[in-house]
Amino acid sequence: MATSTQTTDLPEISAPHERWPRHIAIIMDGNGRWAQRQGLPRIEGHRHGVASVRRITEESARLKIGQLTLYCLSSENWKRPQHELDFLMHLLEQFLIEERTKIMDEGIRLDVIGRREGIPDSVQREMDKTIELSRNNPGMRLCLAVNYGARAEIVDAMQEIARNVQAGELRPENISEATIDSSLNTVGMVDPDLVVRTAGEMRISNFLLWQISYAEIWVTPRCWPEFREADLHAAIQDFAARDRRFGGLNLDAD
């Protein structure tokens, strides 16, 4: 995993666009730690984190990245204090309402992956409204992972496939990677090329385990509330310089 020490004032990305990642997935970590370092309550870290979501979404759309997936709430995060969870749900609902106009103006298509259990009805209504309104938008795909866990996603997919086998609609020997792909939350999406993790953590945290099997990983010590456009540029620039062999050999290398 490469670790970023880049800070600010980076120039525009110099690598040709065809070498950029089509799909960037971000594990947004460090909201609470950032707030504690500032002497603020943890929830203020989440509030400032939403500002980073806006900045990075707008910049990704400006750069014409095909898809941006943001890990907003993992299925393990329900262990947190209830007041913090309530605040996170409030921020998500507020974001969906306040950003709806910009999403439509910029032609962004919204998707949400993860289980619906535990998400307040009011939040689900705003999710569904923005998803439906933006369904045919031609621009960047913005995917929010909410109450998401990759193992749970794979379990759900296996159960769906097993039901199809039991119903006689599918033979076990015909199960393929494509079968599994079509049963995941991310059906119809390209796999991430680049996974960005903030706050210096060197782990995947149950995020898109099937989909990131060949993704490049880029880690920055910056906490999510302090992640800026310059950091996104640095991640893309670093990705573009890598030799991606997908298990093969680059016969042109020295």
Using DSSP's 3-state secondary structure scheme, residue 111 falls into strand
Q: Which two tokens stand for residue 57?
A: 């979404």
Q: What is the DSSP letter of 14?
A: -
| Active-site position among 29, 111, 193, 231 | 29
Do 113 and 148 meet the contact criterion of CB atoms below 8 Å apart?
A: yes
Rounded Cα distance between 203 and 189, Å, is 23
Q: Which of these, 116, 42, 107, 50, lies nearest to 80 by C-alpha position?
A: 42
Q: Give me the sign of the Cα torsion angle 151, 153, 155, 161.
A: negative
Bridge partners for 113 per DSSP: 145
121 is catalytic: no
Q: Are strands 141-148 and 67-74 parallel, antiparallel or unpaired?
A: parallel
| Active-site position among 9, 31, 77, 252 | 77
Rounded Cα distance between 52 and 57, Å, is 8
Q: Are strands 216-219 and 141-148 parallel, antiparallel or unpaired?
A: unpaired
Rounded Cα distance between 87 and 135, Å, is 28
77 is catalytic: yes
SS3 breakdown of the chain: % helix, strand, coil, rounded to 5? 45, 15, 40
Rounded Cα distance between 77 and 38, Å, is 23
- Residues marked active site are found at 29, 77
